[in-house]
Amino acid sequence: MKALSLLSALAIFSGVQAGVPLEPENGKIYFGAWYARPNGDTPAAINTRVGKKLAMFQSDFNITDTINEGNPLQFLQQMDETKSDAIMYLTAYPMYGFDSVTDKAIDDLANLVANVTNSGRRVFLRYASEMNGNWFAYGRQPRKFIDSFRKVVTAVRSKSKPETVAIVWAPNSSNGYPFANDPAKYPYPAPLINSSHPDWDILDTNGDGQLTVQDDPYSPYYPGDDYVDWVGMSQYHYGSVFSDKYDAWVDNSLPNGDQIHQMIRGGNNKTLYDFYGMFCEGGKTNASQGGKPFQLTETGSTFHIRLRNETEYADPGPGRVAIKKAWWEQFLNEAFITQFPHFKAFNFFEFQKYEESSLRDFTNLGPNPSTLDPFTGAQIVNETNAVLDAFLADLPNFEMHLIWGNDSDIDSKKPKQNETAGGNGTGQPNSPSGSVNLSGAEGSRVGLAAILGAVAVGLVGLVVV
């Protein structure tokens, strides 16, 4: 019998089924975290706090005419330090707009993914997420988004084995769509939406001359089934009462009992479109035949620590533990998993950060290293592990559905020389833009460290919800 490749063996061992890359069998769910790398947290530290190895970890970077920002090896090194086969979840932001993204940068990204997967580590790639929102320069521009998304997918797939990398298409939940024209609120806002917008003809899906909650918030941005492996969305609870004074959600309150269900299925006065039915079950949009596995690409329930320009801490309401527990219990239960069999992955958003009008705590997996309070300049005093303790106490109720990481000695700095990373057909890793010669013994010593050193791939912690 021909020996199995490492990735084929991992697929069998973890219950991954043939067909869609990285898709596990029904009832099995990847448990991941978008960890606070800029604040000093690490995947290994999270694994230690949880007492088990998570199945995936997410971090982000900016792509423009280069992918050269931040520490290029840090994310890879921290993944290797887990001593596990955890999936590397890359979120790529064209933060300054699609016009700033060059073909060379896309090629460098494709080479990065190819060399990571060639080392034996699998990758989720999420490009230009939340593209239907107004808080990114690339937002609410479906034609440019689809064109850029397809370029990225084509480049990545040309250089990576299909079973090693999964492409994730992930809009924001449509709660609030089409979102206000509020350019002063965000550092890199989306273009204003009105009838002179170049994509008005496809954004006004019901043709009534207005862009409202009645218009489809998803299909205009869908690049096509051939370019998407997984679908997902960002889902958060920020509070229950919108504050005119602060122009934001700033109250500490419990989420509605079916809030996540409503965001996925629609049918209420804030989000009318059935995302799950459209892209997972199929038959509810002409854009997709359905059948895609679904993930909560980033999720959490906010606890507001302090309000803008206020000296006192925010009213804790029902308390940090109750607010967060009420959120994860909405999707980590037998009824939800049975009702949504395509639900197969989630990432907790593990940050404390200043956003809009408050200092917000999204964490569930223990307090990450303290960050500076923007109001006082002092270190935030983190609470105990009460939220994590509550999560671990709940864990036996749903752990049978979770996929964890397996022990592994994957070294992302040493691509396997006897496996072809993708389309180059040489048995050698792909080199970015021809800038590194990987031939012969010198190439085997160079590995990914030199490749990434040459392109200086910037996996910076942009930390944007």
242-243 and 230-237 beta bridge pairing: unpaired
What does the pLDDT read at residue 75? 87
pLDDT at 245: 82
Q: Is the preceding peptide bond at 255 cis, omega within 30 degrees of 0?
A: no
pLDDT digit string (tens) for 391-412?
999 999 999 999 999 999 998 7
C-alpha closest to that of 169 among 309, 313, 275: 275
> Who wins on pLDDT, 127 or 409?
127
Active-site option among 23, 163, 298, 419: 298
- Confidence (pLDDT) at 187: 81
Of 23, 130, 163, 350, which is the active-site residue?
A: 130
109 neighbors 149 (Cβ within 8 angstroms): no
CA distances from 232 to 225, 450, 456 (A): 14, 34, 29
Residue 398 pLDDT: 97
* Per-chain mean pLDDT for the chain: 83
**Number of Cβ atoms within 10 Å of the Cβ of 380:** 19
Residue 97 or 249, more confident: 97
Percent of the chain residues past pLDDT 90, beyond the cut: 63
Q: Is the pLDDT of residue 150 over 60?
A: yes
Q: Tell me, what's the pLDDT at 259?
A: 92
Supply the pLDDT for residue 420. 40
Q: How confident is the model at residue 23 (pLDDT cuts 50, 70, 90)?
A: very high
**Does 1 have pLDDT greater than 90?**
no
Kind and range of the H or E run holding 325: helix 320-331
Tell me 185's DSSP state: G
Contact of 144 with 136, CB cutoff 8 Å: no
* 447 pLDDT above the threshold of 90: no
- Please give the sequence-ordered ranges of beta strands (E in DSSP) within 257-313, or none if there are none: 294-301, 303-307
Cα angle at 135 between 129 and 141, to 5 degrees? 65
Distances (CA, A) of 167 to 35, 224, 284, 319: 20, 12, 22, 37
Cβ 174 vs Cβ 271: under 8 Å: yes
DSSP 125-146: EEES-STTSSSSTTTT-HHHHH
Q: Is the pLDDT of residue 99 over 80?
A: yes
Q: Can you give the pLDDT at residue 367?
A: 76
DSSP three-state, residue 237:
strand
Please report the pLDDT score of residue 438 as a whole number: 24
Q: Do 9 and 34 touch, CB atoms closer than 8 A?
A: no
399 carries an active-site annotation: no
Do the Cβ atoms of 327 and 300 come closer than 8 Å?
yes
Domains of the chain plus CATH, in order, are 28-455 (3.20.20.80)
- Residues 442 and 403: their CA atoms lie apart, in Å, by 38
Q: What gap in Å lies between CA 232 and CA 331, rounded to an integer? A: 14
Report pLDDT for 269: 67
Residue 313 φ then ψ, to 5°: -70, 155
Question: Is there a catalytic annotation at residue 350?
Answer: no
Encode pLDDT of 306-363 as tens digits.
887 676 778 899 999 999 999 999 999 999 999 999 999 999 999 988 888 888 999 9
